[in-house]
Amino acid sequence: MLNYVIIFITLKESVVVIVKKLSYLLIVIGLGIVGYAGWEIFDTKMQTSNSLAEAKSIVESPPDKEIYKEEDGTFKPPIGEAIGILHIPRLNADLPIVEGTDPDDLEKGVGHYKGSYYPDENGQIVLSGHRDTVFRKAGELEVGDTFEVIVPYGNFEYEITETKIVEADDLSIITLQNEYEELLVTTCYPFSYVGNAPQRYIIYAKKKEV
């Protein structure tokens, strides 16, 4: 009987040791995840800041659409290059606009969807950004608020007309129509979601006539 008691106590102590080690391991893993996430946010902020400086330098130069003008008259800057600024008065925010929406592009700022139009081209302009960096306050914007898109050839103002939530795989919102000028701003949703968000938050804005 005594032997069984000793074995039971030994097993219990072993279980306690294993549980403690697992607890320490989980804590270390958790700290690692938090640290990595923190570094990602810091790195993105640094890249966004650098892109904003580049964008300001570009837009403060004499307005000239010819520098990236294609034969069809459209504005086509190189992928990954900071080419403009998205000014959001309500949020007192100036965000760099970068050509492209690949992960590397979105780490630099607001991505311009390749294939969509630019201001003054009479089509759909699509801008996307991360909900936890450049667009973390997008939910505070309301109908009637404005965006100002600043590019080398001018400043263009757009008024928010509608917001909606769609599934992440719903690409019907990106029509790339060229019948009238509109600005489409997209980000992941819900804003507080951890991981790959299942939906997208869409902001529609129409061009304000001067």
Per-residue DSSP letters for the chain? -HHHHHHHHHHHHHHHHHHHHHHHHHHHHHHHHHHHHHHHHHHHHHHHHHHHHHHHHHHTSPP-GGGGB-TTS-B-PPTT-EEEEEEEGGGTEEEEEEE--SHHHHTTSEEEPBTB--TTSSSEEEEE--TTTTTTTGGG--TT-EEEEEETTEEEEEEEEEEEEEETT--TT-----SS-EEEEEEEESTT--SS-SEEEEEEEEEPP-
Which listed residue (58, 98, 188, 205) is catalytic?
Answer: 188
Which listed residue (108, 112, 130, 200) is catalytic?
Answer: 130
188 included as an active-site residue: yes
Which residues are marked as active site?
A: 130, 188
